[in-house]
């Protein structure tokens, strides 16, 4: 089995690549290294090719997809606030780039494309938990691009018979999440703040909540979506079904790390949603997905990784 992972040098992608190799697949990573890093793949062992290039160039996509059985499409501009400040760039990569991926997959007769969609498709709908049958109401350009990616996939299924599955990831966290941008995931920020002996910054009162999903669960769901038959055209939530507030999270992290985790509270971030929580019944039923690493265990593993990686520098 030959699998292309676009964005395979990124945080989530590199974990997927490692697991594919572990299961005996040969893997091609297509990545422009704009946010991906070579060191993310340094512990990957097995038949791995790295194609350096952007999905925005159709030639890169064509070359990488030759002979592929599956494509797992993660390459994207992933920041919500950045999409607000530069919607054109996010659109170019996330929509035009995804279209190139779908055309390339169709032409290379790829069996299936698994698309990394996002919980941001739900936007501000107040109902919890979020179910796939709810109306999508994205409130950021990023959310729009991810929703369009789902629809494009489904349309390629209809028009060209290309199998496609979309996964709405909910707040993924774990080792290798890059803490260096102001838009980095909150848990990477919290962990590195504690290591630096600085107070973690909380935007708002800290009572907002998220369905924080440890990356190993996301890898498991993604590989199930690549393999399970009879699910083409479907969209699945990939979360844990639980939610934790930032205040609860800091308390847990303080306990795990043994460090004082007293927050510095700042003004709420514009455009933030208050609560997010996935209903994962559909993924359970159709993919047999059951999150195997709960939040506390995920947080412990994540802390250990940041402590060993960032303590050295």
Report residue 213 as tokens.
């999903």
Least separation in angstroms between CB 211 and ligand UD2:
9
Report residue 215 as tokens.
């990356």
Q: Under rule CB under 6 A, which residues in 223-262 are in contact with ligand UD2?
A: 246
Q: Does 80 bind ligand UD2 (CB under 6 A)?
A: yes
Contacts with 212 (C-beta within 8 Å, 6 or more apart), sequence order: 170, 171, 173, 187, 240, 243, 244, 249, 295, 298, 299
Least separation in angstroms between CB 301 and ligand UD2:
17
Q: Does 185 bind ligand UD2 (CB under 6 A)?
A: yes
Inter-CA distances, 106 with 30, 153, 235, Å: 17, 11, 19
Q: Does 12 bind ligand UD2 (CB under 6 A)?
A: no
Pair 75, 56: CB distance under 8 Å: no
Which lies closer to ligand UD2 via its Cβ, residue 210 or residue 224? 210
Least separation in angstroms between CB 272 and ligand UD2:
4
For residue 251, the tally of other CB atoms under 10 A from its CB is 13
Contacts with 67 (C-beta within 8 Å, 6 or more apart), sequence order: 2, 108
* Strands 244-245 and 209-210, bridge-based pairing: antiparallel
Q: Under rule CB under 6 A, which residues in 264-303 are in contact with ligand UD2?
A: 269, 272-273, 276
Choosing from 142, 152, 169, 306, which is the catalytic residue? 142
Q: Does 120 bind ligand UD2 (CB under 6 A)?
A: yes
Candidate ranges 61-69, 150-158, 195-203, 232-240; the one touching ligand UD2 (CB under 6 A):
195-203
Q: Does 35 bind ligand UD2 (CB under 6 A)?
A: no
Which lies closer to ligand UD2 via its Cβ, residue 141 or residue 185? 185
**Alpha-carbon dihedral sign for residues 297, 298, 303, 304:** positive
Q: Does 201 bind ligand UD2 (CB under 6 A)?
A: yes
Report residue 57 as tokens.
């160039």
Q: Under rule CB under 6 A, which residues in 141-170 are in contact with ligand UD2?
A: none
Q: Does 174 bind ligand UD2 (CB under 6 A)?
A: no
- For the chain, first and last CA: distance in Å? 39
Q: Is 142 a catalytic residue?
A: yes
**11 by DSSP, 3-state: which?**
helix
Candidate ranges 39-47, 159-167, 184-192, 227-235; the one touching ligand UD2 (CB under 6 A):
184-192
Report residue 218 as tokens.
């996301």
Which lies closer to ligand UD2 via its Cβ, residue 181 or residue 285? 181
User: Which uninterrupted H or E stretch holds 306?
Assistant: helix 295-310
Q: Does 78 bind ligand UD2 (CB under 6 A)?
A: yes
302: closest CA among 206, 209, 194?
A: 194
Catalytic residues: 142
Q: Which residues form the interface with ligand UD2 (CB under 6 A)?
A: 78, 80, 118-120, 171-172, 185-186, 189, 201-203, 208, 210, 246, 269, 272-273, 276
């Amino acid at each position: 089995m030959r699998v292309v992972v676009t964005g395979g040098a990124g945080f989530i992608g590199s974990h997927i690549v490692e697991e594919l190799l572990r299961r005996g697949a040969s893997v091609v990573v297509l990545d422009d290294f704009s946010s991906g890093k070579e060191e993310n793949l340094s512990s990957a062992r097995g038949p791995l090719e790295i194609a350096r290039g952007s999905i925005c160039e159709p030639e890169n996509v064509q070359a990488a997809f030759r002979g592929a059985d599956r494509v797992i499409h993660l390459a994207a501009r992933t920041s919500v606030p950045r999409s607000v400040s530069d919607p054109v760039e996010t659109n170019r990569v996330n929509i035009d780039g995804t279209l190139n991926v779908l055309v390339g997959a169709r032409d290379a007769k790829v069996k299936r494309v698994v698309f990394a969609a996002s919980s941001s498709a739900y936007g501000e709908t107040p109902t919890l938990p979020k179910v796939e049958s709810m109306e999508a109401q994205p409130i950021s350009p990023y959310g729009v691009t991810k929703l369009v990616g789902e629809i494009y996939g489904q349309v390629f299924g209809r028009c060209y018979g290309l199998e496609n599955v979309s996964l709405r990831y909910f707040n993924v966290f774990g080792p290798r999440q890059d803490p260096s941008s102001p838009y980095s995931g909150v848990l990477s920020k919290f962990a590195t703040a504690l290591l630096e002996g600085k107070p973690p910054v909380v935007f708002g009162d800290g009572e907002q909540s998220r369905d924080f999903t440890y990356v190993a669960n996301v890898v498991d769901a993604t590989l199930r979506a690549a393999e399970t038959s009879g699910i083409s055209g479907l969209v699945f939530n990939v979360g844990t079904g639980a939610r934790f507030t930032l205040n609860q999270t800091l308390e847990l992290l303080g306990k795990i790390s043994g460090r004082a985790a007293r927050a510095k509270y700042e003004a709420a971030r514009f455009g933030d949603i208050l609560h997010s929580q996935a209903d994962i019944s559909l993924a359970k039923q159709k993919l047999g997905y059951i999150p195997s690493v709960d939040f506390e265990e995920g947080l412990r593993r994540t802390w250990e990784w940041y402590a060993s990686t960032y303590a050295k520098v």
